[in-house]
Amino acid sequence: MAYTNALAAYRQTKIKTAGQGQLVIMLYDGAVKNLDFAIELLALSADKKRDPGGIEKISKAVIKAQEIVTELMVSLDFERGGEIAKNLFALYTWFNKELLEANISRDGKRISAVRTMIGDLRGAWTEIIAKTASEDKKAPTGISLAG
């Protein structure tokens, strides 16, 4: 029990101290994790008869991924993000539509397609954050006394 509490406290601290870019990556990680779980369960359920418990677990994992995608949607800044924010919004809308339809029809291929794209976006964000961090290190941080 103490281990569970310590793990929950660690996760909360990690979230509270993360930068904006890192939070976006955490959201992508959560979506990927849930979609991977749904894909795994779908593969297992293909070998067995329809298991109501398995169907519920698949559905919950896909819905959790949809909730994460929705959180990504509402975090977009259209004023600063411009065309990129608009394109991401359209893509996130498509992700949620695909996941909804895939969840209803138990279509692992559709879930896999969305999972791959989310993984690609995560990789892009990781590169952006790394590049931004290296540029920030190059910027002078001292105080200029030259006036």
Q: Spell out the residues 6+ positions from residue 30 whose beta carbon is closer than 8 angstroms to its own.
A: 64, 65, 68
Dump pLDDT digits (tens) for 50-95.
666 788 999 999 999 999 999 999 999 999 999 999 999 999 999 9
Domain containing residue 91: CATH number: 1.20.120.340
Is the pLDDT reported for residue 43 higher than 60? yes
Average pLDDT over residues 18-24: 80
CA-to-CA distance for 96 and 16, rounded, in angstroms?
27
Is 144 contained in some domain? no
What's the domain range around 89? 19-125
- Model confidence, pTM: 0.78
What would the two tokens of residue 93 be?
């809308």
Is 145 contained in some domain? no
Average pLDDT over residues 112-130: 95
Q: How many domains does the chain have?
A: 1
The residue assigned the tokens 């979609």 is 35
Instruction: Determine the pLDDT at residue 3.
Output: 65
